[in-house]
Chain A
Amino acid sequence: MTAQASPASTPEAPVPAARARGRDTGLYEPVAPPARRPAPRRRIRRTGRRLMPWLYLAPVLVFIGVFKLWPTIWGVYLSFFHVRPYLGNQYVAGANYQRAFSDPDLRAAVLHTVIDAVGAVAGSILVGFALALLLEGPARHLRILRTAVFLPTVVAMVAAASLWQTLLYPSRYGAVNSLLGAFGAGPAPFLSSTHSSLASVILIQVWKNAPYDMVIFVAGLAGIDRQLYEAAHLDGAGALQRLRYVTLPSLRPITTIVLTLGIIRGLRVFTEIWVATSGGPAGSTQSVVTYVYEQFSENNDAGYAAAIGTLLLAVTILLTCLNLWWRNRREAW
């Protein structure tokens, strides 16, 4: 764009002498602006256009800045202090971080978090994929079924966890146990035993998130070229082989994205665990964020909680960057 073109982007035309003298010549002429239009107005308009998107985004950016960015930075700041709200904070440099690295409870929490993240995500992908295979297609009854199956995702996690806590009541007359009893299986302790509590919490998350993955996979399946299936069928491939050699490879990009993003997000699991088990029994479902919450609210140690939170932030940022770098590398091939 040259400095002299007008926003209407008409090509520059010589100004007829008559018009320049202020008389209507009767000819149609493009109205070119006089050579000496003030440049700042054009620059303002251009800057204005560049700023417009930011102005539209401003409310959300302010919201994110105040409620997400600022507390994060403040939390990192507090992690270097022994936090005493009323008496004033005491600077302790890296003491909170040293404590975090030598805390066996935190190590256990990290282990549970990783197991939970991987288990829940893998589980929802598997179940979501199975549901997608079963329910994909344009038929009306399938659309209705998919909508019905999608309902768990829109239920609030607090409500879902609370509900499952009741369903998984460990006695013989708990809802799920009664069902198992009908098949002759004994009452399972679910959330009240250290051996099965983490699996039960993963179950709740899979129940809630699998339909979401199903929707993603249905979209992915719809995007697979039908001709590939026909070619495979012509080559004598059975249903299972078509699944293995056509469907799965085509879905790999989506699966990878869902898997990696899900695991990174799963490191922050809190609600389902806090509502269902409070990290118990005996800390068997303690996750990093529930541990942070306990340190802050029950041990009044906001500085230590902030340090753990900062470490989690650093790990999440690192994993996200790795993920992006790896994807960029793959796409560059």
Chain B
Amino acid sequence: MHSTRPRPNRTGRAMLAAVAGCALAGTAALSGCSASSTAGGSGGGGSLPQSKNAHATGDLTVWIRGAGDSPKAYQKIFDAFTAQSGIKVDITTATLTDFETKLTAAASAHRLPDVVLDDAAQLGNFESQGIILPVDKAKLAGADQLTDLAWKSATDLHGQPYAVPFSAQANVLLIRKDWLDKLGLQPPKTWDDLAKVAKAFTTQDPDGDGKADTYGLDIPGSTARGYTSWYWSSFLYQAGGDFVKSAGDGKYTATVNTPQAVQSARFLENQVCTAKDVQPSVLGDDTTATNKAFQTGVAGIYLTGPYAYATMDATTVKGKYIVIAPPAGPSGTTATLAEGTDIFTMADAKSDEATKLEEFMITPQAQQLGMIGVKTATVVRLSVNKTVDAAAVHNGDQRWQVAQQVYADAGHYEWDNLPNWTALRQKASAGLNKLLSSCGDTQSALNALNGDLNSALRQQGVG
């Protein structure tokens, strides 16, 4: 019979101690594993660092930041590569959510893929984490066929390319033609025009349903993924400003409180706070929401990239919008945010084979496959290859003509090569989002943001 007096819980305590002990032992063992080795040796002398698996052969593993039909489009390119070279390529991860987090987890386990396709904006991050290999432009076949602007986006602060550009894009203005026609307006060419058209869209009922349910500008103002700053950058560049500038000697200072920056922020603030011609959920909307707003006729002016053509054409707004160059700034400067997708060779890659893949992916054949291989996923928006004409590939589609023109004439990349550009973009987003929600004084808000960016640059070692 079990005794009824309360027994000291010795067994229970012993068990707990055992579990805790095991956990701590396991932790200590794992810490020994992780707090160790560096990347494949930082190059001694003048030679570039090599992967320890440089000459290994086998299937190439690729991770892609993309979802939906994008992996299919990439697979088409990879299949063409396999047919030509005999090297098989496996897409082992394709996702839009938490892509970099997953890559970081793979990095800690030292189980990186061979090749990663991701936004050019991640260049500096990846380099400072030590997970990518530099690119030897001299040894890359076809490197001279790529545009200078594209190579600039794949180059780090010291002028060393750390990625192979694959696709490029620049933001263009999508605007509802039917609304313009109904109100008898011309497509906007300057900021003043833009403000007028946005106001008209908001107040003059361009969809004719008798309700005040339409708005002018469609702005993703959420701080998630730095969207607020992403949107602001085009206007910042149009005003002649920029986020940081080089202070020489490898150092950079923030420049978001210059008169040009203030002017561009004030313009956006006016639209959101005073004229109120922006969609009302602006402060919390990411691009999924703004896509929907444009597609459902909530807002009529959308600054976005040419990848949006396929998404818009899949909805009822197809055929109702035109694509024009973004408006010129107050001093007549044309500029727009340029971005791209780069091919990154990871630190432990089978780099001989990976280089062959990269050389193939920048050929006109692969670039064209990326553009029209899968109609619903334009993984190559504008080609980085000088010899490929986007408009011709898309059967003379005028929208691609505009996109190409805008990229070549006015494309302005972000500071992808700073050690952690996404952290700076995040801070800028938070600051701008705060300004747009409080509708306060622009200069003091930007002064505060400037201070934040400067301390972040210092933390990153370039301030």
Q: A87 near B39 (CB under 8 angstroms)?
A: yes
**Interface size classification for chain A:** 35 or more
In the complex, which residues 6-60 of chain B have their Cβ closer than 8 Å to any Cβ of chain A?
Answer: 11, 15, 19-20, 22-24, 26-27, 30-31, 34-39
**Complex interface: chain B residues within 8 A of A189 (CB):** 280
Q: How far is the CA of A54 from the CA of B36 in the complex (A)?
A: 38
Q: How far is the CA of A280 from the CA of B286 in the complex (A)?
A: 12
* Nearest CB on A from B310, distance (A): 25
Flag whether B281 is at the interface (Cβ < 8 A): yes
Residues 206-232 of chain B, each 1 if its beta carbon lies under 8 Å from chain A, else 0: 000001110000000111111000000
Given contacts A9-B1, A194-B437, A283-B434, contact A73 B35 (CB under 8 A): no
Flag whether B422 is at the interface (Cβ < 8 A): yes
Flag whether B408 is at the interface (Cβ < 8 A): no
Flag whether A170 is at the interface (Cβ < 8 A): yes
Q: How far is the CA of A84 from the CA of B423 in the complex (A)?
A: 15
Q: B437 near A65 (CB under 8 angstroms)?
A: no
Given contacts A65-B23, A300-B423, contact A281 B437 (CB under 8 A): yes
**Complex interface: chain B residues within 8 A of A235 (CB):** none
Q: B24 near A73 (CB under 8 angstroms)?
A: yes
* Nearest CB on A from B461, distance (A): 12
Flag whether A271 is at the interface (Cβ < 8 A): no
Q: B213 near A86 (CB under 8 angstroms)?
A: no
Q: A298 near B426 (CB under 8 angstroms)?
A: yes
* Nearest CB on B from A200, distance (A): 11
Given contacts A88-B35, A280-B283, contact A171 B130 (CB under 8 A): no
Flag whether B386 is at the interface (Cβ < 8 A): no
Interface size of B by Cβ–Cβ distance < 8 Å?
58
Flag whether B186 is at the interface (Cβ < 8 A): no
Flag whether A191 is at the interface (Cβ < 8 A): yes
- Specify which of A65, A88, A279, A281 is in contact with B37 (CB 8 Å cutoff): A88
Residues 346-358 of chain B, each 1 if its beta carbon lies under 8 Å from chain A, else 0: 0100000000000
**Complex interface: chain A residues within 8 A of B104 (CB):** 85, 300, 302
Flag whether A219 is at the interface (Cβ < 8 A): no
Given contacts A65-B23, A192-B281, A282-B430, contact A86 B131 (CB under 8 A): yes
Q: Please give me the residue from chain A that is nearest to B423 by CB atom.
A: A299
Given contacts A278-B284, A280-B284, A282-B430, contact A299 B420 (CB under 8 A): yes
Q: Please give me the residue from chain B that is nearest to A7 by CB atom.
A: B1
**Complex interface: chain A residues within 8 A of B105 (CB):** 85
Flag whether A173 is at the interface (Cβ < 8 A): yes
**Complex interface: chain B residues within 8 A of A50 (CB):** 11
* Nearest CB on B from A179, distance (A): 16
Q: Please give me the residue from chain A that is nearest to B223 by CB atom.
A: A280
Q: How far is the CA of A189 from the CA of B282 in the complex (A)?
A: 11
**Complex interface: chain A residues within 8 A of B36 (CB):** 88
Q: Please give me the residue from chain A that is nearest to B282 by CB atom.
A: A192
Task: Using CB atoms and an 8 Å cutoff, list the residues of chain A in contact with chain B.
Answer: 1, 9, 50-51, 54, 61, 65, 69-70, 73-74, 77, 81, 84-89, 165, 169-173, 189, 191-194, 276-284, 294, 296-300, 302
Task: Using CB atoms and an 8 Å cutoff, list the residues of chain B in contact with chain A.
Answer: 1, 3, 11, 15, 19-20, 22-24, 26-27, 30-31, 34-39, 98, 100-101, 104-105, 107-108, 110, 112, 125, 129-131, 211-213, 221-226, 279-284, 347, 420, 422-423, 426, 430, 433-434, 436-438
